[in-house]
Amino acid sequence: MTLALPQAIAALESLAEPGRAEQMAAYHKQSRRVIGIPNPAINDLTKTWRQTLSVEDRVELAAALWQTDIFEARLAAAKVLTQARLRPDDAAWALIQSWVPDFDSWAIADHACMAGQKRLVADPSRLDQVEAWTTSDHMWTRRAVLVITLPWTKQNHPKDHELAARDRVLGWAAGYADDPDWFIQKAVAWWLRDLSRHDADRTRAFLAQYGDKMKPFARKEAARHLPD
């Protein structure tokens, strides 16, 4: 089964709620078209697409949805690829990587990164490609490094290779500690805050070494869940 782009857009448009587009455009600071769809409705629709389309067709649909530059279509493009078991997944990973330079808002970036997280966990060697993003001139690309690697904050009993990946990302975060951009500071804080629930010692060590370089709000957020 395949799904043509006009059909997919029509399906999205059928989920619009009156007056919601204006509210969402203002909240997300969007200049692109916003249809006005609640997130749960997009979830339900893309779940159906994942269940009925082949991996190849999903990648093709995701690419087409992204190119429309419609807010919810880009969210749907990411959601249709957000799945742990996706075989083969090289084309999906390549597509997700191709989106990163287009990131210009947190909602779109975060949804795309959630799809990317699944592909990184499936093949951690892809962290080598993510590392190249750390030196990008594009703030959203640098930020994506920390959002897409969030799974490495969550293991309670990490194996040696998972600890090595965790330390690798902490090294990248250290390079961001004095970055003046609010979104970068927030991303560092988010990574450390999530890590603190599972690895308080590494979080404390990072803050002891680099906390003075961070913005006060980020340092406070990073330490919010540290046990006394």
Average pLDDT, the chain: 97
| Mean pLDDT across 36-45 | 98
The Cα–Cα gap between 177 and 206 comes to 10
pLDDT of residue 2: 85
Cα Rg of the chain (Å, integer) = 18
pLDDT tens-digit profile of 86-122? 999 999 999 999 999 999 999 999 999 999 999 999 9
Q: What are the angstrom distances between the C-alpha of 178 and each of 143, 153, 165, 214?
A: 14, 21, 22, 5
Q: Does 26 have pLDDT greater than 80?
A: yes
Q: Is the pLDDT of residue 211 over 80?
A: yes
CB within 8 A of 48, min separation 6: which ones? none
The confidence score (pLDDT) of residue 124 equals: 98
Residue 33 exposure: Cα atoms within 13 Å on the Cβ side: 13
Please tell me the predicted confidence (pLDDT) of residue 1: 61
Looking at residues 180-200, what average pLDDT do you find? 98
123-228: CATH topology: Leucine-rich Repeat Variant (1.25.10)
Q: How far apart are CA 214 and CA 210, in angstroms?
A: 7
Span 206-221, mean pLDDT? Answer: 98
For the chain, where do the domains classified as CATH 1.25.10.90 start and end? 123-228
